Amino acid sequence: MSERIGFIGLGIMGRGMAANLLKAGFELTVWNRTATRMQDLVAQGAHAGADPADVAARSDIIITCVSDTPDVKTVILDEQGVIHGARPGALVIDCSTISPQATREIADALRAKGVFMLDAPVSGGSEGAAKGTLSIMVGGAGDQFERALPVFQAMGKTITHVGGHGAGQTVKLVNQVLVVGNCIAMCEALLFAQAGGVDLQKTYDAISQGAAGSWMFTNRAPQIIQRDWRPGFTIDLQQKDLRLVLEAADELGAPVPVTSLIFQFYRTLQAQGLGSEGNHALIKALENLAGFEIKAIR
């Protein structure tokens, strides 16, 4: 019999991931702080938990997917947290993007109760969560990774065991350094093209398949050219991830000058109330410096 799954945090990512677990045939108990967000999944056959501890008491494997480090601590360690309902031998899988150091501390607290933990942050956005095509980078013990593999396979495509506790979070932050580095390069290049008076669509067509191409350029440059700021990933979450990079880099003594600069640019956009726009709206920070804008194609 397959293990019973609990799922905590039914946001943009969590609701798609949980639905895929149901589709794969797992018995599922869900909980979300805003209770109305549980309705869809309950209608699809999930049980509704009363709180995170209740979800843990009804489950063998408990998945968390909430916003930031303090939120993961709340749902796992607080008074009604997972730690108070989980039985010895249970496995907690945290799919949020949070601090690698805090991850190791949470794993230690769970281990003291005989509960296992894996950190398993994801990449692939809301689309990947809905389609079950996420990339999942996993830290923790090898036997627990093997145990969780059928669960990961229901939610993702590229599933990689990258090391011990916190290693999954570290690799996710590596991913984010590359994402924003690609993003700032794209923004600077498009603004330069605009200043040079060339047609932006023709510029895109000429170079997107060559050595300068990237996922970011292919998917987000067309959005910028249309001034379409709808988010695949919001500025607020992107800025949170860069804060995690800067904190970890400081602890490790690793220089991250480009990421530091981009972190500050995102700050300026948040200050202008743009936190819910897509991360490619980074170009607005450069437009503010330049004093001119990318022109929308109508």
Catalytic residue ranges: 172
> 3, 4, 24, 33: which one contacts ligand NAP (CB under 6 A)?
33
Task: Report the C-alpha gap between 49 and 66 in whole angstroms.
Answer: 16
CB 279, CB 179: distance < 8 Å: yes
Greatest CA span in the chain, whole angstroms?
65
Q: Is 66 in the site for ligand NAP (CB under 6 A)?
A: yes
Contact stretch for ligand NAP (CB under 6 A) within 38-46, 123-131, 159-167, 201-209:
123-131
Smallest gap from residue 99 Cβ to ligand NAP (A): 11
Nearest to 10 by CA among 24, 27, 31, 25: 31
Q: Which of 99, 123, 176, 203 binds ligand NAP (CB under 6 A)?
A: 123
Decide: is 12 part of the binding site for ligand NAP (CB under 6 A).
yes
Show the tokens assigned to 250. Answer: 């400081």
CB closer to ligand NAP, 31 vs 194: 31
Q: Does 182 bind ligand NAP (CB under 6 A)?
A: no
Would you count residue 237 as binding ligand NAP (CB under 6 A)? yes
Q: Which stretch binds ligand NAP (CB under 6 A): 7-15, 213-221, 259-267, 275-283?
A: 7-15
DSSP assigned state of 278: B
Handedness of CA 259, 170, 63, 122 (dihedral sign): positive
Nearest in space to 30 (alpha carbons), one of 12, 48, 52, 57: 48
| Amino acid of residue 57 | A
Where on the chain is the footprint of ligand NAP (CB under 6 A)?
A: 9-14, 32-34, 37, 65-67, 71, 74-75, 96-97, 122-123, 125-126, 233, 237
